[in-house]
Amino acid sequence: MTPSKDFVIIANAWGAGEDNPTSKHRIALELARQGHRVLWVEGAGMRRPRLGSGHDRGRIVRKLRAACRGARPVQERIWVVTPLLVPVPSRASVRALNGRIYRSVIRHTCRRLGFASPVLINYVPVLADAMKRWRGAQVVYHCVDRWDAFDMYDSAMMAAVDRQCCEEADVVIASSCDLLARCRRHNPNSLLVMHGVDYAHFATALESPRRPDDLPAGPVVGFFGLLSEWMDQDLVLRLADEAPHAQLVLIGTADVDVSRLRERENIHLLGPRPFRELPRYIAHFEVGIIPFVVNELTAAVNPIKLREMMAAGCPVVSTAMPEVAKYAEGDAAGGAQGGVVVADSHDAFVSAVKARLADATDASGRAALSERMREETWEAKVSQILAALEKTP
């Protein structure tokens, strides 16, 4: 077993992972489970807040309250701290100042907690300056998104800070082949670590749990996750129109306008559901869907929900994303009846979903699909990361 280490992880808000744990949260939890200590440092947003937005004002208030509490334990061997910074990431001078603020808060908190030579893992590109002159062990940049492809961010700035993170890091970890190729241009010590899955949790869907009361009657086509700019709402609407007997259930928070979806009688926006309850819902999906727009952003996406649906034994139909296609190509069943189907057009997507509804996967088929994810656990992924650290000076 690897000797216990101390880790500092700069990421998003810890509370954001309560209903929809990200890869960052899963890695922190797995590190703690393996006996390592983790200081989770809540990072800045990657755009300037809009004071006219109630959502942004609420985030500011929550950050102020969290900052006043100092470092606080949230799980065994995990503490969270929320530094205050200047929320103007577009200015290089402000980013440099914020980097110094973060280094100071982290050093002070690590001394108080007794952290010795911690490894720094940064997920927040606009805090690249926090990686400079690190007083600890290795510096890691974990690249999980094509940051310069988001509509909501300044593309040029995000490309610049993403590159800076790669250059400051001793080792770079990328979650998809597209991201790995980009990171290696700036740091040759970059490696691919795919996302994992909480296999034991999602495999409970195979035990035929009771149907949740808020699921509509009839065959369910389901999705769970953030309803954001990458969701192809036109595709979802067309599917609702062409499969009127099916009930399209979307579980998760929306950060974009979804009013068009609400107008369809057979589209049900349930909002977020607790992570612990997700297997109960997926168990009653005839088919799970990943209806993402195909663009530069999603070409780099390695969707955790694909692994979670597969671990739950739920057949999946997805739009044409390279990281999903790998699982479709390895599907022995193949075709529209395979466990994972990738559709290269709206026509093909709708046809694949309708084919799955017409020929539902039986219990043995679901068990076989789940088995494909048995070794893709977060424990295995964290072991890959720890092995990379052992090899890196």
| Cα 298 to Cα 24, 144, 353, distances in angstroms | 19, 11, 21
What pLDDT is attached to residue 48?
59
Q: What is the mean pLDDT of residues 357-369?
A: 94
What average pLDDT does this structure show over 96-115? 95
User: Which region among 73-82, 194-203, 287-296, 334-343 has the lowest average model confidence (pLDDT)?
Assistant: 334-343
How confident is the model over 46-74, as pLDDT tens digits? Answer: 555 565 655 555 555 565 565 556 789 99
92 alpha carbon, distance to own chain's centre: 27
For residue 179, what pLDDT is reported?
96
Which strand ranges, in their side-by-side order, compose the sheet holding 247-251?
Answer: 267-271, 247-251, 220-224, 287-290, 316-319, 340-343
Domains of the chain (ranges, CATH numbers): 6-196+377-391 (3.40.50.2000), 199-371 (3.40.50.2000)
The predicted-structure confidence for 37-47, as pLDDT tens digits, reads as follows: 999 999 876 55
What integer pLDDT is reported at residue 150 of this predicted model? 86
122-126, 243-247, 323-327: least confidently modelled range: 323-327
pLDDT in tens, 11-29: 999 988 876 789 999 999 9
The rounded distance, in Å, linking the Cα atoms of 249 and 362 is 21
**Which residue type, as a one-letter code, is found at position 339?**
G
Backbone angles phi, psi at 229, to 5 degrees: -60, -20
- Report which of residues 359 and 335 the model is more confident about: 359
The reported pLDDT for the residue numbered 332 is 45
What pLDDT does residue 287 have?
97
pLDDT digits (tens, 9 = 90+) for 201-228: 999 999 999 999 999 999 999 999 999 9
Query: Could you tell me the CA-to-CA distances from 87 to 43, 53, 63, 105, 310 in Å, in that order?
Result: 11, 15, 12, 17, 39
Q: Average pLDDT in the 324-351 region? A: 78
What's CA 49's distance to the chain center, in Å?
A: 22
* pLDDT bucket at 142, cuts 50 / 70 / 90: very high
DSSP H or E segment with residue 60: helix 54-69
Which stretches does DSSP call E strand in 168-276?
171-174, 190-192, 220-224, 247-251, 267-271
The whole-angstrom separation of Cα 384 and Cα 379 is 9
Is the predicted pLDDT of residue 261 greater than 80, yes or no?
yes
Reply yes or no on whether the pLDDT at 121 is more than 70: yes
Q: What distance lies between CA 370 and its chain's CA centroid?
A: 20
Provide the 3-class DSSP secondary structure of residue 275: helix
Give the per-residue pLDDT at 43.
86
The answer to whether 115 touches 39, Cβ cutoff 8 Å, is yes
Residue 221 β-bridge partners: 248, 287
Q: pLDDT tier at 137 (50, 70, 90 boundaries)?
A: confident
Determine phi and psi for 251, rounding to 5 degrees.
-110, 125
Burial group, residue 98, by CB count within 10 angstroms (0-12, 13-18, 19+): buried
